[in-house]
Amino acid sequence: MLFSHVFDPSSLREYDIRGIVGKTLTTDDAFAIGRTFASMVSRAGGKTVVIGYDGRLSSPVLETALVKGAAESGVDVVRIGCGPTPMLYFASIMLKADGAVMVTGSHNPPDYNGFKMVFAGKPFFGAQIRELGDLAAKGDVVALQDGTVRSVDIREDYISRLLKDWDGGQTSLKVVWDNSNSCAGEVLEKLVARLPGEHTILNKTIDGHFPAHHPDPTVAKNLEQLIAAVREEKADIGIAFDGDADRIGVVDNRGEILWGDQLLVLLARDVLNAHPGATIIADVKASQVLFDEIRRAGGKPVMCPTGHSLIKSKMAETGALLAGEMSGHMFFADKWYGFDDALYAAVRLLGCLARLDAPLSVVRQTIPQSVSTPEIRFDCDDERKFKVMEDVAARLRHAGAEISDIDGVRVTTPDGWWLLRASNTQPVLVARAESTDEVGLAQLKSALTEQLAQSGIALPDFSGACVTH
């Protein structure tokens, strides 16, 4: 029987394949991904593909179709079951797999799902995803054959490895965790049972409805429950995960949010204490304060486009020991394996906090203050968003503005900087601005609003959106 499959073009993203279940993403897509990805692995001389899935309602049936497709391409499929995306990355390394696929909708709404892939130990993204789509459409896959399928429980090995790098001693830290009903639930319970200190877990049940709140810790509203619990229990720290536990959110002992770049300042200082002069990477959305603080701590800061696949590639290229994004992806390569893992980042952060001689709220005050907007995301059609970016960049270049175009446009002025970029995972544009004072921030907001207006885009009202770091 001949194989051929055409994906909904909106599902083939830059870093993964993702869509709305039953509309732009189906079990036929899952089978085709398995069939085609495994063919690519096989043609490269590989044999083993590890497959896992998250806690979304649609994930088990998509995983079953994915496994069937991969097996029909003749590879040995290893199923690790439901768990965090970073556990899949860990399994692919420990099992010396040639490829790995995670069924996950990450931080998207409950009706979304998708697939993150690893090929020969490296991120599978960009041109490779487009190639997969082309091969599936042409039916250009290996001949139908019977591969093997087996299940492996990797959870205990994963938890033990997470704990291997615990360096906080017998701390008495009081920690509130918000699992966000994510697929980390069972793993997190077992992890904290073996960590010193006092631990409370909110929303620990894996539930694809996400009944407590949306599983995205970069949005302040989604942290309200955690903030309230930290304050009520007088905890030392609160830690939250996204839907597949590769992104971390943090609040201090006063219930104040530490944004991704502030968290990276603390982690960078710790890594640089052990590795002076190390390269530390941050994405284009990060505060200028972060880059300045890395340099002040004796490190080499590098700005990188946003995207977990791009950052992993940049880490390999530069030999960076640590990287992070505003979105809460944290990548350690000093002792860990260089992939983004919120559970591992949490273990390292708690170890760091246990060794400090002051509460987290006091330590954060050592980070120079700036005034910024939060990350502002607003709807823009997938096709139109890239045209808007082209037009804005062209006008800025014509005006002689000081810009960085490694990912969207980041414009530097005497008032500070503002950023506009097209999301590679959703039909949205993303904006952010930062200044040393509110007057400068108002000027930056005005410039950003004007540029969008010239492209026929009305920026949502963010006149009151102001975050003091």
Which domains does the chain show, CATH number per domain?
9-153 (3.40.120.10), 157-364 (3.40.120.10), 371-468 (3.30.310.50)
- List, by residue number, the catalytic residues: 106
Provide the CA 230 distance to its chain's centre, in angstroms. 24
User: Residue-wise pLDDT tens for the chain (469 aa)?
Assistant: 578 999 999 999 988 999 999 999 999 999 999 999 999 999 999 999 999 999 999 999 999 999 999 999 999 999 999 999 999 999 999 999 999 999 999 999 999 999 999 999 999 999 999 999 999 999 999 999 999 999 999 999 999 999 999 999 999 999 999 999 999 999 999 999 999 999 999 999 999 999 999 999 999 999 999 999 999 999 999 999 999 999 999 999 999 999 999 999 999 999 999 999 999 999 999 999 999 999 999 999 999 998 888 999 999 999 999 999 999 999 999 999 999 999 999 999 999 999 998 999 999 999 998 999 888 888 998 889 999 999 999 999 999 999 999 999 999 999 999 999 998 777 899 999 999 999 999 999 999 999 999 999 887 766 545 555 5
b/e string for 2-17 if b means 16 or more Cβ within 10 A?
ebebebeebbbbbbbb
Q: Exposed, middle or buried by CB within 10 Å (0-12, 13-18, 19+), for 212?
A: middle
Dihedral of CA 94/100/104/108: which sign?
positive
- What's residue 346's pLDDT? 98
Please answer whether residues 413 and 402 qualify as being in contact, where contact means their C-beta atoms are separated by less than 8 angstroms.
Answer: yes
Q: Which amino acid is at 64?
A: T
Vertex 115 angle, CA 177 and 134, to 5°: 160
Q: Exposed, middle or buried by CB within 10 Å (0-12, 13-18, 19+), for 81?
A: middle
- Residue found by looking up tokens 């599978």 in the block: 124
As a whole number of angstroms, the distance between CA 467 and CA 461 comes to 15
b/e string for 166-184 if b means 16 or more Cβ within 10 A?
bebeebebbbbbbbbbbbb
Q: Which two tokens stand for residue 249?
A: 């959110």
Tell which residue, 181, 162, 168, has the closest CA to residue 226. Answer: 181
Tell which residue, 352, 299, 296, has the closest CA to residue 323. Answer: 299
As a whole number of angstroms, the distance between CA 423 and CA 115 comes to 17
Q: Is the pTM here over 0.75, yes or no?
A: yes
Cβ within 8 Å of residue 273, ≥6 positions away: none
